[in-house]
Structure 1
Amino acid sequence: MARPALRVDAVLVQAVIAGALSFAHLHDLAAAAGQDGWKAWAYPISVDLLLVASWRRLRSDGPSRLAWCWFVIALVASLGANVATAGLLNLQHVPAWLRILVAAWPALAFMGGTLLAHSTTDHPAPEVPATTPEPDSDREPVASPEPEATPAAVTEVQETPALAAAEPVPTPESATAAPAVPAPSVPAALVDHARKVSADHQARTGSPIDTDTLRARLGVPPQLADAIAAQLA
């Protein structure tokens, strides 16, 4: 099997050249500021590592003020060394403020690296949907300012008329008496709703509900209202 030919990546070569030049500029500036020997070589490594660490934090955890702050600090330190060694600054007589900055850089870089390595990213907490409490069947009904009607129960009663009972056969003794009117049958659901309406009226007014008010609240005929009131008594 033939080996693939080595390909030179122009972007990678450009990155290596730019990194080497920036490394040399940082070394020269540190040496001019009084950091000789291995200390001058450690400065460019510290600046580049802080720059890479902050950029990696931005790429992995997303934008954050901490990562952007230390990225800008490391970038300013690198660019400042490149500009300072371009002939704008006399490296034989470095000003005192620059010596102070170079001497304070290790503590600053150590603090930035520690914060980037051990701090957690603040992510917004997920929103919890508001849950509606289920109605408790054992709880007593709460008085409401306006009466609530149940059109479903009323419609059921209106659409389903009560079945008429068989007419009794008159006897000779009661032939002249008026036939008794059968009481209409009341659905259980309507009776339960009537109890709730009666309890609501009792809680709001302090007195039991009368038949006329019950008939108006339920919207039922008078005979059916009388039958419901008899069952509520």
Structure 2
Amino acid sequence: MSRALRLDPVLIQAGIAGALSFAHLHDLAAAAGQDGWKAWAYPVSVDLLLVAAWRRMRTDTENRDAWLWFAIALVASLGANVATAGLLDLNDVPPWLRILVAGWPALAFLGGTLLAHAPAPAEVPEPPEPAEADPVADATVERAPDRAPELQPADPAPEHEALPAAPTAPPVSVPPALLDHAQKIANAHQARTGAPIDTATLRSHLGVPPALADAITLQLT
């Protein structure tokens, strides 16, 4: 379904003001020696610079260049309206006004280029929304101090049971004849060396087992 057209009084007023300003700029350019299509290009240049500066001001309010070029275009538009209101003889335009009109294209080109290539304002990142805190996680739970584990009394060390005494070997009996023979060997050894005979030497002379040699050595006097 087509949308019904509705006349907006603000837009109508803007259209009337723009047409009048457009006509005044054309008349002033034509009076300053810009004839033909050049006289119609001047109001287009002024209005385009005015709109470009206004759009840059909306996107970047801190851009001073946009405010400067908006003021220049506004002064040019208002100056043409005032000049064509009877305060200026359009049949005898002063030289300084001819100079301003002739230099306007270069000035408008410079302003439009600077506005078109101005760097875009840096977007400030929005701070992240704080996450909802978990009331259960944020609650501080006070815990009772852990008790030290009670130590059980140590079991008394078991008393060492008395080990059974090792069985003692029965005494070795030495025959008297063997003892007399051993005594003679011991005497001879002591007379020869000046020292009592030891068990190993005695055993080598007698050729008896070690236990019997020990028993003989103990009984020698």
TM-score (norm 1): 0.52
- Output the CA distance in 2 between the equivalents of 1:126 and 1:10: 39
Cα 1:11–1:172, aligned 2, differ >3 Å: closer, same or farther?
closer
Deviations 1:153-182 (A, max 9, x none): xx95xx533532423326679xxxxxxxxx
Cα 1:9–1:169, aligned 2, differ >3 Å: closer, same or farther?
closer
Q: Structure 1 counterpart of 2:105, which letter?
A: P
Deviation at 1:82, TM superposition (A): 0.4
2:155 aligned residue (168, 171, 183):
168
Q: Secondary structure at the match of 1:107?
A: helix
Deviations 1:82-111 (A, max 9, x none): 011112222223222222211111011111
Deviations 1:92-145 (A, max 9, x none): 23222222211111011111112222222222654999xxxxxxxxxxxxxxxx
The corresponding residue for 2:190 is none
Question: Any gaps of 5 or more consecutive residues in structure 1?
Answer: 130-154, 174-233
Contact 2:60 2:121 in 1 (8 A): no
TM-score (norm 2): 0.55
Q: Structure 2 counterpart of 1:167, which letter?
A: A
Alignment of 1:2-151 (within 5 A): 8-59=7-58, 61-63=59-61, 64-123=63-122, 126=125
- Output the CA distance in 2 between the equivalents of 1:124 and 1:4: 36
Q: Structure 1 counterpart of 2:97, which letter?
A: L
- Output the CA distance in 1 between the equivalents of 2:158 and 2:11: 118
Question: Any gaps of 5 or more consecutive residues in structure 2?
Answer: 129-143, 161-221
- Output the CA distance in 1 between the equivalents of 2:155 and 2:73: 106
Q: Secondary structure at the match of 2:76?
A: helix
RMSD of aligned Cα (Å): 3.3
- Output the CA distance in 1 between the equivalents of 2:156 and 2:84: 126
Who wins on radius of gyration, i.e. which is larger? 2
Cα 1:85–1:5, aligned 2, differ >3 Å: closer, same or farther?
same
